[in-house]
A = this chain, B = another copy of it.
Amino acid sequence: MSDVHPLDPLVRRWSKYRSFSTGDRNAIRELPYVRRTFGKDAYIVREGEQAGECSLILRGFAYRQKLLSDGDRQIISFHIPTEFVDLQNGVLGIADHNVQSLNHCEIAAVSRSAIIELADQRPAVRMAMWIDTLIDSSIFREWVVNVGRRDSRARIAHLLCELVIRLQRIGADREGLFDFPLTQEQLADATGLTAVHTNRTLQSLRREGLLQLSNGILRVLDWEGLREVGDFDELYLHQQV
């Protein structure tokens, strides 16, 4: 399938969960959307806001986060092109966390009502959407395990494994190389570590020849090794539903 329409990557992504009719595909393509661009670290959604629309990433990375009362930040997930960063807001209405762009980002903003209408009228698409939010949920569960029970090396390794798999799935790998714009501080905020310790942990992983990571480029040198260090089992990503 060649991508002639900006929403085709979404069609392709969702059609892995449910087989779509031509009508289903067209209904997705006909979603009214507004294209928005965000610079680095811009807020796409704010906690407590009434959510008027859902944001699909066309280009760039985004992340969800929550701020503690003492100013500490916990990153809750990272998102890559073809993914909605806040599909749940289409249903729940009020945002329970923040969403920020990680780098320069292009977003297709779809109104809540259009999402709901599509779900109402297209059973197959509705199920794909539900599955999408459920896989999200599964990833959060795995993150609870990651920050709750694994040591620093395993946490970082596990996170990298997850992102590598997800990037591969959208065809974002270039022969083992990945554009990887996360700073060490963001890696730290996602794993519940400090930036300093994240730095030392990455050095340890590099020293063992598991990976290279610099200048925003990640190269996995020893996938099996990284997987083992991270105690990584991709079942939770539900690649085949």
How many angstroms between the C-alpha atoms of A47 and B48 in the bound complex?
34
**Interface hit among A22-30, A34-42, A134-142:** A134-142
Q: Enumerate chain B residues within 8 angstroms of A47, measured Cβ to Cβ.
A: 235
Q: Are A74 and B231 within 8 A (Cβ)?
A: no
- From B69, B74, B94, A148 is in contact (CB under 8 Å) with B74
Copy count, this protein chain:
2
Q: 8 Å CB contacts to B: which residues of A81-97? A: 88, 91-94, 96-97
Q: Are B141 and A96 within 8 A (Cβ)?
A: yes
Check A195 for interface membership: any CB of B closer than 8 A.
Answer: no
How many angstroms between the C-alpha atoms of A92 and B48 in the bound complex?
30
For the complex with contacts A66-B145, A91-B127, A97-B236, 9 further pairs of A-B residues with Cβ separation under 8 Å are A70-B231, A73-B149, A74-B145, A74-B148, A93-B241, A96-B142, A96-B235, A130-B130, A137-B137
Which A residues contact B (CB, under 8 angstroms)? 47-48, 64, 66, 68-70, 72-74, 76, 88, 91-94, 96-97, 120, 123, 127, 130-131, 133-138, 140-145, 147-150, 191-192, 231, 235-236, 238, 241
